[in-house]
Amino acid sequence: MKSVPYYTAFAAIAAGVLATTTPGGFSTRCSGLVQSFHPDQQTTVLVAEFLAKGSNFTDPISHPSCVGGFTGGSILADVCRLRLNVSTSSTSSVIIEAWMPANWQQKGRRFAMTGNGGLAGCIPFDDLNFISSLGFATAGHNNGHDGDTGVPFFNRPEVVKDFAYRALLTATKVGKKAVKQLYSQNLKKSYFLGCSSGGRQGLKAAQDFPEEYDGIIAGAAGNNWNNLMSSFSYYWKFVANGNNPPILSAEQWVEWRDEAIRQCDQIDGVRDLVIEDPRKCNLRPESRLCAPGKSWASNKCFTSAQVTFLRNLYEPFYGNNGTFLFPGFGPGDETITSLWFAPTAPQYTVDWYRYALLNDETWTVEANFDLDAVDNANRIDPYNISTYKDLSKLKASGHKLLTYHGLADGLLSYEGSDRYYESIVRRMGLPSTQLDSFYRYFPIAGMGHCATGNGAWYIGAANQYSGAPATTTETEGGVLMSMVKWVEQGIPPERITGRGFTADGKLASTKDHCKWPLQNKYLGGNPNRRSSWGCS
């Protein structure tokens, strides 16, 4: 925060808004939004309340699958909490929460929109709490339906439209109006940050409505959405053989995960459970094939069928006629087991096909999923949810995009982000040195899906605040404050600083992650120190 300009003097002379700078005045003004905030016919205020720093907050859980949406404990800053219902059509609506801090004027008058996860019907309260503690007015939304499930899409195309982009765009516009109403001032800069589905939302914004955000941060983006939904079931049904019989036990999967680390960890020169560049590792499951007469019980080795499964897991997912559809796993991605060993087909695929694509409740992965179904999904591509356009609108807007992806992401491989970046180089005909002016990509070694991992994974990003012990103090060098510096001071990020933690939450390491196509390079010395690493 040190490098951020403050506007204290400005706030002091803005006599008309002095009421908002005293605690009592702010609280009154906040609760008054119930009467005063009427941006349009579509918007209803559900709650307007002042939340004091340190007070407890209970997540108004809207669906059982949203349990745990607020894990942050207490409120980190004095905020005005506004809950809205905005109808987006005659058959759809979005629930929005805007959290606006009392010290907004002094902290640069920034607005930050948050994203969602999975099938996205849960408001990210932890993100709202954390981002507002940095002085941003921030907003989140349920993306047009409650819960991490696709059931609400059934025969409701307007709800799918909200999910694809409209809920985000609506929430952003209404959130900005709420900010103006509360503080009686225009905001200075607007940001977006999200991971996973939220990463896809960020890319959607960058592709289609970049004018809304000066800086967009898109993590582990689930773009190429239809193929992502299909890929879960491709690997479950065809590569893991419908898990029938289970191809590996959980114990065997853990052994394989450790084997991947054994084969790949040392290539970067440091044995630290972190594979700096999985692209450099030629993982070889065949090295663990049982010799005749040997078994898992006797030698912890794998059968030929198991080795074949493991080999195919790292192969891309190709469709009819050999069309590339989605990347396979990368070495080091073996951090999530549930998909491959679940007795039932991946729920995200089932929900997406049944309710969003086909409106057919009888559709099953077992009976109906094949490569023709995949082609059909790409043909339907509701509301262009694939999110795979180029970035010419973003370039023209002069706004910025920062993407990142954990290199140990067990849900959707970093290779999707690599491929999107390279596709932009080719489609726009711009080398990295030119893309750098508006689009930068940072692979994060040792980070899992959006958060956690063996590496320096905490980068001040979306979906990270609950699990990170250092959240409230250290954000400089992370993605959000690096984006602020890029937008507001014209200083673009060359590296993103990450922090790693011990099992009991102590700071264990710091590392600067390099901007693609540069890679983290060990220079020597204590590998837990930033100074021991460079980019080349």
Ligand X SMILES: *[C@@H]1O[C@H](CO)[C@@H](O)[C@H](O)[C@H]1NC(C)=O
| β 324-326/317-318 pair status | antiparallel
Of 87-95, 124-132, 193-201, 499-507, the window that binds ligand X (rule: CB under 6 A) is 87-95
Of 228-236, 316-324, 406-414, 498-506, the window that binds ligand X (rule: CB under 6 A) is 316-324
| β 495-501/507-514 pair status | antiparallel
**Nearer to ligand X among residue 93 and residue 306 (C-beta):** 93
* Cβ atoms of 57 and 132 closer than 8 Å: no
User: Any idea which residue has 């690599």 for tokens?
Assistant: 418
* Cβ atoms of 228 and 416 closer than 8 Å: yes
* Phi–psi pair at 177, nearest 5 degrees: -65, -40
Bond preceding residue 331 cis, omega within 30 of 0:
no
* Closest approach of ligand X to the CB of residue 45, in Å: 10
Catalytic residue status for 449: yes
Catalytic residue status for 432: no
- Spot the catalytic one: 141, 399, 449, 513: 449
Using DSSP's 3-state secondary structure scheme, residue 468 falls into coil
376's tokens: 């059909």
Q: Which residue is nearest to ligand X (CB)?
A: 87
Which residues share a beta bridge with 216?
Answer: 192, 401
Among 93, 116, 172, 519, binds ligand X (CB under 6 A): 93
* Closest approach of ligand X to the CB of residue 92, in Å: 8
- Spot the catalytic one: 127, 409, 418, 512: 409
DSSP assigned state of 273: S
* Closest approach of ligand X to the CB of residue 208, in Å: 8
177's tokens: 């109006």
What is the Rg, in whole angstroms, of the alpha carbon atoms belonging to the chain?
Answer: 24
* Cβ atoms of 129 and 75 closer than 8 Å: yes
> What is the chain's length?
536
* Closest approach of ligand X to the CB of residue 120, in Å: 17
| β 92-101/137-141 pair status | antiparallel
- Spot the catalytic one: 93, 133, 190, 196: 196
* Closest approach of ligand X to the CB of residue 415, in Å: 21
**Nearer to ligand X among residue 174 and residue 248 (C-beta):** 174
**Nearer to ligand X among residue 379 and residue 506 (C-beta):** 379
Of 306-314, 319-327, 409-417, 498-506, the window that binds ligand X (rule: CB under 6 A) is 319-327
**Nearer to ligand X among residue 223 and residue 497 (C-beta):** 223
Of 135-143, 257-265, 317-325, 482-490, the window that binds ligand X (rule: CB under 6 A) is 317-325
**Nearer to ligand X among residue 384 and residue 472 (C-beta):** 384
Task: Read off the amino acid at residue 327.
Answer: P
As a whole number of angstroms, the distance between CA 152 and CA 165 comes to: 16
Regarding 56 and contact with ligand X (CB under 6 A), the answer is: yes
Regarding 41 and contact with ligand X (CB under 6 A), the answer is: no
Of 64-72, 85-93, 114-122, 218-226, the window that binds ligand X (rule: CB under 6 A) is 85-93
**Nearer to ligand X among residue 260 and residue 325 (C-beta):** 325
Among 384, 472, 528, 532, binds ligand X (CB under 6 A): 384
Burial 400-411 (b: 16+ CB within 10 A, else e): bbbbbbbbbbbb
| β 79-89/92-101 pair status | antiparallel
**Nearer to ligand X among residue 95 and residue 345 (C-beta):** 95
As a whole number of angstroms, the distance between CA 371 and CA 375 comes to: 6
DSSP assigned state of 163: I
Of 281-289, 318-326, 398-406, 433-441, the window that binds ligand X (rule: CB under 6 A) is 318-326
Among 375, 436, 488, 494, binds ligand X (CB under 6 A): 375
As a whole number of angstroms, the distance between CA 141 and CA 349 comes to: 23
* Cβ atoms of 500 and 468 closer than 8 Å: no
Regarding 392 and contact with ligand X (CB under 6 A), the answer is: no
Residues 6+ apart with CB under 8 A from 310: 256, 285, 302
299's tokens: 């030698």
* Cβ atoms of 196 and 219 closer than 8 Å: yes
Binding track, positions 264-303, relative to ligand X; x by CB under 6 A? ----------------------------------------
**Nearer to ligand X among residue 95 and residue 310 (C-beta):** 95
Regarding 87 and contact with ligand X (CB under 6 A), the answer is: yes
Of 152-160, 313-321, 404-412, 516-524, the window that binds ligand X (rule: CB under 6 A) is 313-321
Among 55, 266, 282, 295, binds ligand X (CB under 6 A): 55
Regarding 304 and contact with ligand X (CB under 6 A), the answer is: no
Among 320, 338, 423, 489, binds ligand X (CB under 6 A): 320
Catalytic residue status for 63: no
* Cβ atoms of 365 and 236 closer than 8 Å: yes
Burial 514-525 (b: 16+ CB within 10 A, else e): bbbebbbeeeee
**Nearer to ligand X among residue 31 and residue 384 (C-beta):** 384
**Nearer to ligand X among residue 55 and residue 437 (C-beta):** 55
Using DSSP's 3-state secondary structure scheme, residue 410 falls into coil
Give the total of residues touching ligand X (CB under 6 A). Answer: 13
Among 35, 58, 186, 321, binds ligand X (CB under 6 A): 321
Which positions touch ligand X (CB under 6 A)?
A: 55-56, 85, 87, 93, 95, 319-321, 323, 375, 383-384
Q: Catalytic residue numbers? A: 196, 409, 449
